[in-house]
Structure 1
Amino acid sequence: MTRIDSAHETLTEEFRGTGSISDDIAEPRATQADPGSVLERDPGMPSSTWRLRSDAWEYLRFGVKRLALGNDDTDTLTPDSEIYRSLRSLETIEMYWAGFGQRYVTGITDLLETGDYVTALDRIGRVVNRLRGDTVPEDPREEFIDELDRLETSGDGDPRPRFEVLVVDETTAADRDTMRAEALRLRNPADDFIYEYVIVPSADDAVAAILTNPNILACVVRPGFSDRTRQSLSKDLKEAIGLARTDSENTNTIAPARSSLASVQRVLGIADTLAAIRPELDLYLMAGAHIEELAGALTRRFRRVFRREDQLELHLTLLRRVSHLYDTPFFSAIQDHARRPVGVFHALPVARGGSVVSSKWIKDLETFYGLNLLLAETSATSGGLDSLLAPVGTIKKAQDLAARAYGAKHTFFVTNGTSTANKIVHQALVAPNDVVMVDRNCHKSHHHAVMLTGARPAYLEAYPLNDFAFYGAVPINRIKQMLLDYRAAGRLDEVRMITLTNCTFDGIVYDPERVMAECLAIKPDLVFLWDEAWFAFAAFHPVTRRRTAMSAAKRLEDRLKSSTHAAAYREQQSRLFKTDGDPAPDSAWLSERLIPSPDAHIRVYATQSTHKTLTALRQGSMIHVYDQDWVREAEESFHEAYMTHTSTSPNYQILSSLDIGRRQVELEGFELVQRQLDLATSLAQAIARHPLLRRTFRVLTAHDLIPAEHREVGRPMPLRDGLTSMWQAWANDEFVVDPSRITIEISRTGVDGDTFKHEHLMDRYGIQVNKTSRNTVLFMTNIGTSRSAVAYLIEVLVKLADRFEEEQAQRDPELPGDLSVPSPPLPDFSAFAPGYATDAVLPDGDLRAAFFNGQRRGTVEHVSPEALRERVRTGEKPVSAGFVTPYPPGFPVLVPGQVITSEVLDFLAALDTREIHGFDARRGYRVLRG
């Protein structure tokens, strides 16, 4: 169904009888007509409260407007009507959001019960306008707004950025009013920001608030709170709260406070839970009695402890802390530079617009991009701005702030993409003849990096998805088996690093904590490089964050410190090693989830294409580092590699965008990512439910993309079932599917993916997609995706489905369809040719030697696909002279030194990708002469 927010008729159809608004956050209630019945929650409605809240208020305005105008009979306003269902839902929702609050909702209910629909409509309109960011008009019926409501809404037209502060304390209504009034009194016109309180009485309510309200940036805990909520929450939200609290108890490794006060223990518990769910929140404690004992017991959990009378200090602290998040040191420096009058007597004619603004012929450059782009052009050598190669000022500070945001120990900006970021990390950490275990299907930049460093790749094979012509991810047992093989051959010391793609182009996400833990149990000094080119957004959602490399490294580091872990390690070692010290058979190591030594080293690197999933200009990327051996083992070599690959003339606009993009995700990342995931789920829902769309397209789920042995939770689309299902899957399954990516199987259209992408989506309707396979199309949502964009895509798909059905009806049944011939199986890496293989036992080889042999004209010949196939048929083993890489997705099917097989040739022949790097359509493949 097409969603258009402004169309009231559409809203009516969306909400009538679904139960989706009131039941997703509030417990379903029996109807008055049938007390035994339960209003069923729409199983496809995701649990994003921003949408429930917005839609509930929008529907209320529509429904009450019809009553006010006399378009609906008042007899329709029954207790089980959608208007009352929405109000019941909002009674719970508004408890967790600042602004109008539960009393405001109760007041609207009272107005409807007395038949004053006009006043109710006015009050609803104030909320809708505020949610949309519009100026809220004065309420014409002022007698219905008390003084506190008037104070709270008086700043609705204030243009300053606003945030919300959670207060956890069981107080009376009068105390809550006093607290809010005090906060309003402390507002100063000179403040850069304004904030409002969200006051909840219990630990459960505090967890519910930070799971549902992304506007909360800080939390004040007061010891008087209770433990359990008294709200009628939905089953999904109650279970999510339980999971969150249990998860934090299981992962917390900070030594418990030595205090006999039960209140201290409760404070510690809620602090640990809130920090585990949303570590970006600042936690403060406000107490009266025993403040000294509390301060000594609370270790690193709270940023500061206040007495209850220190309201002004709390106010100033909240504002100052948000100013630190808002700070963009390099972007501010660029703006300052652009405003300064300077004389340019160095390179860059374009600087200050010198060669543009006075030109007769290229003034359209300034017209199109604006003068600020030119005013900001300068060089680090000219002074006034920091140097990317040797940062000591604003760039260094900006990188430190990014490290804080992403949970890294160090972060480095890269201005020429993650391809370069990968080469930097490889060069910094591996040396010639080191073995690097590489996902064969990782981006080509890893293969090139291995070649440049002289390391020897040992290719790991992902599980194939032959029905859809792309690969999944590498199962943990394949990684463990390869490490065990190197150990058995006496070569484990040569294995230096493992690099994997998290998440893959098609959205398969690893469990990095499990992978690193089990690999470190076999080799405790392994280095890990996680290519998270498509996963930068994941650091800003409570569920997806746990599968990012930096979060996993932190969790693993904390786990290794615990006495419980040490005991488990000793117990497992007694099983995995015989009394004579020899290891047990490989089957024992593969059948258990391995526990690393408490002395294992956490050495983790992540490369992220910030520009792909967050706000940054093209080629803006980051390298995140969580390396316990950074100073001793990596710092100097890393900086040398950084110097090798980083331009001495970096693009300052890219750097500025990385800086301000970091500000955005720290202040509103949770909201943006939550919305992104929700919209993707809505798209999948629409396709799966629409009668025409589901006849033509099929949404691929975890059941299609992840074999059953790698799933424990087993739900096809966990987020569709609610936050709890997603939480469980992301905590337990070996692989999960990134819900922001929707892969559609299109076999029933009769056209291949490339044709569908170019001729139908792009050329006809202007819809851009990145990747297709022979019979699939990948749609990706991002933090810039809107509901209108999703609605437009659904509309286009409906039109295309109708067109394809008509074409299929007219098709000659005797003619084969475009997709009637199945794709050949996806080929594994064959092997390095004997001249380049290290030995005949293990898979690594000398990629560098093969590459440079392939650069010499006399050692290479070009062979057509037909002639090459004939050579293979007659028993020859031709060897590739270079990389052959279909793009997208950008991983090589052939690498230098690899034996070319019939399976590889069959796969390449069936590709519908228009761009294949390393293959000349006129001359054929480059092959090394025998």
Structure 2
Amino acid sequence: MTRFEHGIPLDESSGRAPSGVSRLPRSAGSSALERDPGMPSSTWRLRSDAWESLRFAVKRLALDGEDAEALASDSEIHRNLRALETMEMYWAGFGQRYVRGIGELLEAGDYRIALDRIGRVVNRLRGDTVPDEPRDEHLDEQERAELAADADPRPHFEVLVVDETTPADRDAMRSEALRLRGAADAFVYEFVVVPSADDAVAAVLTNPNILACVVRPGFSDRTRQRLSRDLVETIRLARSQVSTGHTSERSSLASVQRVLGLADTLAAIRPELDLYLMAGAHIEDLAGALTRRFRRVFRREDQLELHLSLLRRVSHLYDTPFFSAIQDHARRPVGVFHALPIARGGSVVNSKWIRDLVDFYGLNLLLAETSATSGGLDSLLAPTGAIKKAQDLAARAFGAKHSFFVTNGTSTANKIVHQALVGPGDVVLVDRNCHKSHHHAMMLTGGRAAYLEAYPLNDFAFYGAVPLDRIKQLLLDYRAAGRLDEVRMVTLTNCTFDGIVYDPERVMAECLAIKPDLVFLWDEAWFAFAAFHPVTRRRTAMASAKNLEERLRTSAHAAAHRAQQQRLYDADGTPAADEVWLEERLIPSPDARIRVYATHSTHKTLTALRQGSMIHVYDQDWVREAEEPFHEAFMTHTSTSPNYQILASLDLGRRQVELEGFNLVQRQLDLATSLSQSIARHPLLRRTYRVLTANELIPAGHRETRRPMPLRDGLASMWQAWAADEFVIDPSRVTVEITRTGVDGDTFKHEHLMNRYGIQVNKTSRNTVLFMTNIGTTRSAIAYLIEVLVKLAERFEEDRAQLDPELAQAALAAEAPMPPLPDFSAFAPGYDAPGLPDGDVRTAFFRGQQRRHIEHVPPGELRERVDRGEQPVSAGFVTPYPPGFPVLVPGQIITAEVLDFMAVLDTREIHGYDPRRGYRVLRAE
């Protein structure tokens, strides 16, 4: 009996995936390849591994003359063929018929021809050049043309066609596409043809090469493919997230509704897809109703117009206006009578002493350097040309109303947003554990920080995220004190350094139900990639803002809001007790304003040069309230000599994620889950390391689902967790607990990973190491990391075995226990607000800059003062880096808990603390 996993058949008796993840056939004199220890792979990996596995097995038949057992009905070869016949429906090129043809060749004993055919597919998947003249006489003209096209160097993409067609119709469609293809076309596309709405959803979920979709009304609703339970459930979830449905398929209205439902589903899953409708009769009537969903509506005979539309639209995605302007500038002969001697290589190419600069970086870098803002290059401070267009394209890509490039990092981006939106005396609810730039921004703007406490993870020496009920309670406290009007903004980090992700739509909705004009700043420094995956996208600030805006417009939302108001207020308009507000999932007024800002360290998770960042805006009051102050703040913090190469890299990075972001992010998530599974399943690794999951990183009260690693169980499980849980874990991050190694995180990072094996990691805690995958991570890199972890585990086990038991016990007893993570204590009198937590960081900071008002106190003496009952006050920020959030801020009372935590902190870099002189403390007046 056969069952299916991720769209492929699995052998029921063994539970092993046939497509490259199970044990491959054993060849003479070599050991079998081990089962992939990672997650049940996604389709991109299953497909590639299945073809590779099939090639390996058939090669043995063709060259080694093995017996017919390899062709038994339950053999590896047949399981791979069955899996590939399912998967190839959703990919362009060779297709299901090609797979069936290989099976027929094998049954006939034509192993060498079958091997040749399989090799062509493997070459295509690897990106290798395929011969222009296929030698296989069994190929028909259509297949020969497709194989010849593989050698075409132009970028390829795929177009999904949803229609119930015959094989002859599909051949005719592909032939017509080949006929229309011209030498002047910048791109080449191929068709993926599926018969049903289910298959269309499966295709866009599994095939990232699809960039456009043509819907023909003749499609059916349900698939006839035998799909996995996971894929079936994911399709159900995807189709249930849109409101458009259908009733009877016999009426014309139902037919239109069916088309609309599919279009809405596809747009929700992959908003970067272009949707086209190809209909027969009455397209004039349909065009008005369908314009919002489809880019254009065609009649079936308008193949040329469709062809041109597909190419033109991809050219818009491919467009990089500022990078193109830089290239044009570099090619032009110019005379430089301006700043920047390095421009055009003037001070370098004829130098006897720094010629290695151009040798190392290349001449193009120097040719592209300029201080000019004319000649097509534009000004970052007042863009009207290439930079303006590049930023508009970024807004489209990230789902924002406006986007802005920042060339000196997200620290500056955060300060720009704060200065634009916050003034002296405004209260900002801010996560105490957010990046230090937010705290510095409070000092610069004069806003009053009301610090929110994240839940602590004391066992691992870092913080989680701020529970929603704490945010709501603080807003209610300000309302009770009559100061709610002073609360201006909520600032949170999504996702945190350690990968804990909020549900921004829920947070914003419930906060707006208490104060409908709140502004939100989401620091998504580590989350830029999330906009390009169907599941992670819904938890980005921009997607959440859009969803919330659309929800507030519906009559159903208005009715629900009216009903809830009757529970939240008494007949005389008095608010119910706080407990009622905390227990309810609050529904904001339809009149609430959606004012959302997000900052991205684009360079951290997408392709961009270091310090390349973006600010994204989804603000309904942009023109009235924010545009002018934002531009003033932008000019305040942005250099008048921005780095053009950073700007060009942001432009290119945007192009990349619009065209292949889904593919890259899906691989990133898969590889991270594969790493975590490798550690969990390897006998030696699991004795030495422990991967922390949602069970350890998120308290049970903040999770409705109970899967510790949802993506490991399939896309549907991840989808459900990310839809329901208050907090989820970014699966691209793997936090490994290393207590059993016997070394602390900093030593593990520097002495073992980096110095010995060249593996770079960013963050550690006392007993954890954080491994982050990104869109540049490869399977080889994961394999190398696993290899290194095994070698280190062997070393640690050997060291433990050689250690004298008495000495080991003494060392363990002498080791200082990790104290609890310190909460924010309080602002000192004079900087505080009695009864509420906000404080005046600005006044304390500038007082702390004056020598006459400060003293340096060593840790031991400071602890003695605290033990005597004194309340020393910090004169500045004290910030361990990474992760970069302050343990102390100006004006904060220094407590024993803070000093205990600092005493055992193993971070080598602590900003604002001089170990020779001690802490900077404000003198008592």
TM-score (normalised: structure 2) = 0.96
Q: Which amino acid aligns with 1:517?
A: A
The equivalences for 1:562-601 within 5 A come to 562-601=554-593
Could you tell me which residue of structure 1 aligns to residue 5 of structure 2? Answer: 23
Residue 23 of structure 1 deviates from its aligned partner by 3.2
Q: Do structure 1's residue 495 and structure 2's residue 477 form an aligned pair?
A: no
Q: Distance in 1 between matches of 2:300 and 2:697?
A: 54
Q: Which amino acid aligns with 2:817?
A: P
Give a deviation string over 1:430-467, Cα, whole Å, max 9, x none.
Answer: 10000000000000000000110000000000000000
Could you tell me which residue of structure 1 aligns to residue 284 of structure 2? Answer: 292
SS at match of 1:164: strand
Residue 384 of structure 1 deviates from its aligned partner by 4.0
The answer to whether the 8 Å contact 1:44/1:721 transfers is: no
RMSD: 2.1
The answer to whether the 8 Å contact 2:131/2:148 transfers is: no
Q: Do structure 1's residue 160 and structure 2's residue 154 form an aligned pair?
A: yes
The equivalences for 1:127-276 within 5 A come to 127-137=121-131, 141-249=135-243, 260-276=252-268
Residue 381 of structure 1 deviates from its aligned partner by 4.6
Residue 261 of structure 1 deviates from its aligned partner by 2.6
The answer to whether the 8 Å contact 1:499/1:530 transfers is: yes
Give a deviation string over 1:157-203, Cα, whole Å, max 9, x none.
Answer: 00000000000000111111111111111100110000000000000
Q: Distance in 1 between matches of 2:13 and 2:62?
A: 25
Residue 749 of structure 1 deviates from its aligned partner by 0.2
SS at match of 1:142: coil
Residue 299 of structure 1 deviates from its aligned partner by 3.7
The equivalences for 1:798-837 within 5 A come to 798-815=790-807, 816-817=810-811, 820-837=815-832
Q: Do structure 1's residue 453 and structure 2's residue 435 form an aligned pair?
A: no
Could you tell me which residue of structure 2 aligns to residue 782 of structure 1? Answer: 774
Q: 1:173 to 1:384 in 2, by over 3 A?
A: closer
Structure 1: gaps (5+ residues): 1-16, 34-38
Could you tell me which residue of structure 1 aligns to residue 18 of structure 2? Answer: none
Residue 296 of structure 1 deviates from its aligned partner by 2.1
Residue 341 of structure 1 deviates from its aligned partner by 0.2
Residue 896 of structure 1 deviates from its aligned partner by 0.2
Q: Which amino acid aligns with 2:901?
A: F
Could you tell me which residue of structure 2 aligns to residue 10 of structure 1? Answer: none
Could you tell me which residue of structure 2 aligns to residue 482 of structure 1? Answer: 474
Q: Distance in 2 between matches of 1:337 and 1:141?
A: 47
The answer to whether the 8 Å contact 2:38/2:676 transfers is: no
Could you tell me which residue of structure 2 aligns to residue 621 of structure 1? Answer: 613
The answer to whether the 8 Å contact 2:401/2:616 transfers is: yes
The equivalences for 1:36-47 within 5 A come to 45-47=39-41
The answer to whether the 8 Å contact 2:733/2:770 transfers is: yes
Q: Distance in 1 between matches of 2:72 and 2:36?
A: 21
Give a deviation string over 1:248-300, Cα, whole Å, max 9, x none.
Answer: 23xx799xx9x953211110010000001110100000000121221122140
Residue 138 of structure 1 deviates from its aligned partner by 5.5
Q: Which amino acid aligns with 1:25?
A: G
Could you tell me which residue of structure 2 aligns to residue 88 of structure 1? Answer: 82
Give a deviation string over 1:311-336, Cα, whole Å, max 9, x none.
Answer: 00000000000000000000000000
Q: 1:31 to 1:586 in 2, by over 3 A?
A: closer
Could you tell me which residue of structure 2 aligns to residue 891 of structure 1? Answer: 885
The answer to whether the 8 Å contact 2:90/2:202 transfers is: yes
Give a deviation string over 1:454-507, Cα, whole Å, max 9, x none.
Answer: 000000000000000000000000000000000000000000000000000000
Could you tell me which residue of structure 1 aligns to residue 596 of structure 2? Answer: 604
Structure 2: gaps (5+ residues): 16-20, 23-34
Identical residues among aligned pairs (%): 81
Q: Which of 285, 294, 304 is equivalent to 1:312?
A: 304
The answer to whether the 8 Å contact 2:376/2:386 transfers is: no
The answer to whether the 8 Å contact 1:27/1:235 transfers is: no
SS at match of 2:677: helix
Could you tell me which residue of structure 2 aligns to residue 919 of structure 1? Answer: 913
The answer to whether the 8 Å contact 1:202/1:227 transfers is: yes
Q: Distance in 2 between matches of 1:509 and 1:896?
A: 29
SS at match of 1:601: coil
Give a deviation string over 1:560-586, Cα, whole Å, max 9, x none.
Answer: 000110000000000000111010000
Could you tell me which residue of structure 1 aligns to residue 61 of structure 2? Answer: 67
Q: Which amino acid aligns with 1:893?
A: V
The answer to whether the 8 Å contact 1:165/1:216 transfers is: yes
Q: Distance in 1 between matches of 2:590 and 2:527?
A: 29
The answer to whether the 8 Å contact 2:321/2:389 transfers is: yes
Q: Distance in 2 between matches of 1:287 and 1:32?
A: 47
Residue 687 of structure 1 deviates from its aligned partner by 0.5
The answer to whether the 8 Å contact 2:5/2:230 transfers is: no
Q: Distance in 1 between matches of 2:93 and 2:126?
A: 14
The answer to whether the 8 Å contact 2:545/2:594 transfers is: yes
Q: Do structure 1's residue 721 and structure 2's residue 713 form an aligned pair?
A: yes
Q: Distance in 1 between matches of 2:67 and 2:210?
A: 40
Could you tell me which residue of structure 2 aligns to residue 327 of structure 1? Answer: 319
Q: 1:513 to 1:522 in 2, by over 3 A?
A: same
Residue 70 of structure 1 deviates from its aligned partner by 1.8
Q: Which amino acid aligns with 1:296?
A: G
SS at match of 2:225: coil
SS at match of 1:214: coil
Q: Distance in 2 between matches of 1:558 and 1:813?
A: 65
Q: Distance in 2 between matches of 1:270 and 1:817?
A: 64
Q: Which amino acid aligns with 2:491?
A: T
Give a deviation string over 1:900-923, Cα, whole Å, max 9, x none.
Answer: 000000001110000000100100
Q: 1:353 to 1:306 in 2, by over 3 A?
A: same
Residue 820 of structure 1 deviates from its aligned partner by 4.5
Could you tell me which residue of structure 1 aligns to residue 97 of structure 2? Answer: 103
Q: Distance in 1 between matches of 2:300 and 2:770?
A: 54
Give a deviation string over 1:784-825, Cα, whole Å, max 9, x none.
Answer: 000000000000000000000011111222234469542100
SS at match of 2:712: helix
Q: Distance in 1 between matches of 2:677 and 2:745?
A: 21
Q: Which amino acid aligns with 2:8?
A: A
The answer to whether the 8 Å contact 1:253/1:558 transfers is: no
SS at match of 2:451: strand
SS at match of 1:136: coil
Residue 80 of structure 1 deviates from its aligned partner by 1.2
Q: Distance in 1 between matches of 2:95 and 2:770?
A: 41
Q: 1:549 to 1:140 in 2, by over 3 A?
A: closer
SS at match of 1:880: coil
TM-score (normalised: structure 1) = 0.95
The answer to whether the 8 Å contact 2:69/2:75 transfers is: no
Q: Which of 368, 380, 389 is equivalent to 1:376?
A: 368
Could you tell me which residue of structure 2 aligns to residue 6 of structure 1? Answer: none
SS at match of 2:149: coil
Q: 1:32 to 1:143 in 2, by over 3 A?
A: farther
Could you tell me which residue of structure 2 aligns to residue 7 of structure 1? Answer: none
The answer to whether the 8 Å contact 1:23/1:89 transfers is: no
The answer to whether the 8 Å contact 2:329/2:375 transfers is: no
Give a deviation string over 1:219-244, Cα, whole Å, max 9, x none.
Answer: 00000000000000000000000000
The answer to whether the 8 Å contact 1:31/1:80 transfers is: no
Residue 31 of structure 1 deviates from its aligned partner by 7.2
Q: Which of 259, 267, 270 is equivalent to 1:278?
A: 270
Residue 894 of structure 1 deviates from its aligned partner by 0.1
Could you tell me which residue of structure 2 aligns to residue 5 of structure 1? Answer: none
SS at match of 1:680: helix
Could you tell me which residue of structure 2 aligns to residue 702 of structure 1? Answer: 694
Q: Distance in 1 between matches of 2:291 and 2:312?
A: 22
Q: 1:814 to 1:32 in 2, by over 3 A?
A: closer
Q: Do structure 1's residue 843 and structure 2's residue 865 form an aligned pair?
A: no
Could you tell me which residue of structure 1 aligns to residue 344 of structure 2? Answer: 352
Residue 926 of structure 1 deviates from its aligned partner by 0.1
The answer to whether the 8 Å contact 1:578/1:584 transfers is: yes
Could you tell me which residue of structure 1 aligns to residue 407 of structure 2? Answer: 415
